[in-house]
Amino acid sequence: MHRIISPKIAQKVMKLIFWISGIITILILLVIIGYVILKGMPVLNLEFIFGDPIDSGREGGIFPMIISSAYVTLIALLVATPLSVGAAIYLSEYASEGKLVAAIRFGAETLSSIPSIIFGLFGLAFFVIYLDMGWSVLSGGLTLALMALPTILATSEVSIESINKSYSEGSLALGATKWQTINRVVLPAALPGITTGIILGMGRAIAEAAAILYTVGAALSIPISIFDPARPLPLHLYILATEGISLENAYGTAAVLVIIIIIITVVTNTLVDRYSKKMMGR
Amino acid sequence: MEYRIEVKDLNVYFDELHILKNVSLKIHKNMVTALIGPSGCGKSTFIRTLNRMNDLIDTFKMDGDVLLDGKDIYDPKVDVVELRKRVGMVFQKPNPFPKSIFDNVAYGLKVHGITDNNVITEKVEESLKSAALWDEVKNILDKSAMGLSGGQQQRLCIARTIAVEPEVILMDEPCSALDPISTTKIEDLIHKLMKDYTIIIVTHNMQQATRVSKHTAFFLHGEIIENGPTDKIFIEPCDKRTEDYITGRFG
């Protein structure tokens, strides 16, 4: 047998290839984030962040959009989290493999691959028109909840499934009921994974423009009631750019959105990390 | 002689697999009973029948009687939660919860509705002392149990079990994942616990069976081949198969 390349060289070449893939991935991320933040920098100041938009956003700030984003995302998570974590607990702890479980899983998987504009259309037909919620924070938030749901469900289910069965056995053997076991042992252990799922779902919701395009309205003022129309950051960005209002302010808005997402991710990761370390005694 | 547990003509099936065949065994009160036999002979299935942990497996079916203090534990009126409180279990691999050392021991008390913090604190200390772990952990009670060594974790699991004051403790190869020093500590502990608890221990280690138990049952292919005082089983077994197994000819 004659080898074309020696295993040692193959090993080195493969290591290099993987290293390059890793570096390229990080670079792409850095370039995109860096580009957006750099382009947005010139308009970023306190007045932009805390000011009201003037002349459709050509001048002024984006404070109502930041509040709108926080508002719709909060509603989306308040609705999606209990539903999807509940479904995840059912799937991983109660359901025995069968048609119902297969159907729920298939449903969730399909839901996660539906284009967001379809969610937008559904939201318009169902929440805005049929349920007569109008263009509002509530309609937008509920539409985003539908989008975040499969993400949180899938991540939570995997994380609950991954909890060592020996914990549950230990708890049941002490005479704990199934619910006590889930509530006091399984869920606390799965909390880091569930939190990651919620953050991923939040990332989907907060960054979404298409799904809220037809559901949330486009008001420039701060929404107070859940029935008020609003204009979350991605939608504002979309309108500024497509209607040629102000590309500079579009980049500024994008930069704010990216920075908010980075901050939330870093803060939750740190908290989750601290919790895991305390729990696992490292 | 008083018996705590009496098993009569027990048959256990998982689907079509006939795991335990007409097993009958009487377990003496406040004594250590060792169950020995090669892997797959049904020892673990047997002790899991005693606290109804097999109920968790969908394909589990059984017939026969399992009496705890004369009452059938498979009677439909029996509360499984109450039963498991009376019949505690220590597992093969130490499985403390990913919680603090204190919370691990307090867990059983809390799920059984004890809320008085003074009572819980007292009971935790008492249980950790009984499990010969107190001196090693008294200053790190709020640290995660996952940071303890394997042997400490197993003693913590024993402390957690005795905190709810069971009558019987089932131990499923409790030392198989531990080093010799930790094993010695657990065995000493078993000796100490014997006067208050009825202990049933599954073990692969012949020496361990002779060291800790007064009574031994030898399982093979789902049947009890022989059972009696440990001294007799190991010195003059009646059955050729028992002799072959304990002298290391198979298994």
Q: Determine the pLDDT at residue A244.
A: 86
Structure tokens at A24: 């390229």
Q: Tell me: pLDDT of A61 over 80.
A: yes
Percentage of chain B exceeding pLDDT 90: 71
pTM score of the predicted model: 0.84
How far CA A136 is from CA of A53, A139, A227, A237, B157, in Å, comes to: 19, 5, 5, 18, 54
Q: Do B111 and A166 touch (CB under 8 A)?
A: no
Q: Tell me: pLDDT of A133 over 70.
A: yes
Q: Tell me: pLDDT of A57 over 90.
A: no
Q: How far is A61 from chain B (nearest CA, A)?
A: 47
Q: Determine the pLDDT at residue B248.
A: 81
Q: Considering only CB atoms, which chain B residues are within 8 Å of A193?
A: none
Q: Determine the pLDDT at residue A1.
A: 58
Asked if B96 and B148 touch (Cβ cutoff 8 Å), the reply is: yes
Q: Determine the pLDDT at residue A56.
A: 84
Q: Do A172 and B56 touch (CB under 8 A)?
A: yes
In chain B, which among 158-217 make CB contacts under 8 A with chain A?
160-161, 164
Q: Tell me: pLDDT of A2 over 80.
A: no
Q: Determine the pLDDT at residue A101.
A: 85
Confidence of residue A262 (pLDDT cuts 50, 70, 90): very high
Q: How far is B155 from chain A (nearest CA, A)?
A: 14
Q: Does B140 touch chain A (CB under 8 A)?
A: no
Instruction: Give the CA-trace dihedral at A216, A222, A228, A233, to 10 degrees.
Output: 10
Q: Does B26 touch chain A (CB under 8 A)?
A: no
Structure tokens at B215: 């009574």
Tens digits of residue pLDDT in A171-204:
999 999 999 999 999 999 999 999 999 999 999 8
Q: Do A281 and B147 touch (CB under 8 A)?
A: yes
Q: Determine the pLDDT at residue B1.
A: 58
Tens digits of residue pLDDT in A233-244:
999 999 999 988
Confidence of residue A109 (pLDDT cuts 50, 70, 90): confident
Nearest CA in chain A to B145: A281
Q: Do B112 and A170 touch (CB under 8 A)?
A: no
The beta-carbon neighbor of A174 closest among B98, B146, B160 is: B160
3-state secondary structure of A142: helix
Q: Determine the pLDDT at residue B99.
A: 93
Q: Tell me: pLDDT of A55 over 90.
A: no
Asked if B11 and B62 touch (Cβ cutoff 8 Å), the reply is: yes
ipTM of the complex: 0.91
Residues A224, A203: Cα–Cα separation, whole Å: 23
Residues A157, A87: Cα–Cα separation, whole Å: 8
- With a cut of 50, list the residues of chain B below it in pLDDT: none
Q: Do B84 and A174 touch (CB under 8 A)?
A: yes
Q: Determine the pLDDT at residue A119.
A: 93
Q: Tell me: pLDDT of A281 over 90.
A: no
Q: String of b and e for B214-242 (b: at least 16 CB within 10 Å)?
A: ebbbbbbebebbbbeebeebbeebeeebb
Q: Determine the pLDDT at residue A76.
A: 95
Q: Average pLDDT, whole number, for chain A?
A: 91
Residues A54, A194: Cα–Cα separation, whole Å: 41
